[in-house]
């Protein structure tokens, strides 16, 4: 992992790009929803509350797959991906968890060349 101050600066840079793109500053949950929608690939006008939660779950699994925590197991008949957890998450406090997730979000956007 990269130093916290560098993580924070990289996070602010990503937020600035997202504000420029969407004209609003998104929170982490909104970014997860965006990633989940991208990974699901079926953009709808409206999702149910349960579908929104599923999309955020898809995002987390997709984000943590390159680090070996999850792998895509299958895609159901409706196109929803299902993941298998490969290893347990490390013990972290809330701040460490947020930084861990933010670092993976930054890696995701870097890979997508955003």
pLDDT tens per residue across span 47-64: 899 999 999 999 999 999
Q: Does residue 11 contact residue 28 with C-beta atoms inside 8 Å?
A: no
pLDDT tens per residue across span 15-47: 999 999 999 999 999 999 999 999 998 777 788
Q: Does residue 76 contact residue 82 with C-beta atoms inside 8 Å?
A: yes
* Dist CA 43 CA 40 (whole Å): 8
User: Is the pLDDT confidence value at 109 over 80?
Assistant: yes
User: Is the pLDDT confidence value at 2 over 90?
Assistant: no
Q: What is the pLDDT of residue 3?
A: 56
User: Is the pLDDT confidence value at 1 over 50?
Assistant: no
């Amino acid at each position: 992992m990269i130093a916290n101050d560098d993580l924070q600066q990289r996070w602010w840079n990503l937020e600035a790009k997202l504000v420029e793109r969407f004209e609003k500053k998104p929170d982490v949950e909104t970014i997860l929803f965006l990633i989940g929608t991208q990974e699901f690939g079926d953009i709808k006008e409206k999702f149910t509350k349960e579908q929104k939660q599923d999309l955020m779950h898809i995002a987390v699994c997709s984000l943590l797959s390159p680090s070996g925590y999850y792998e895509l197991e299958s895609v159901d008949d409706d196109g929803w991906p299902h993941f298998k957890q490969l290893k347990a998450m490390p013990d972290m406090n809330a701040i460490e968890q947020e930084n861990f997730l933010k670092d993976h979000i930054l890696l995701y956007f870097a890979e997508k060349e955003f």
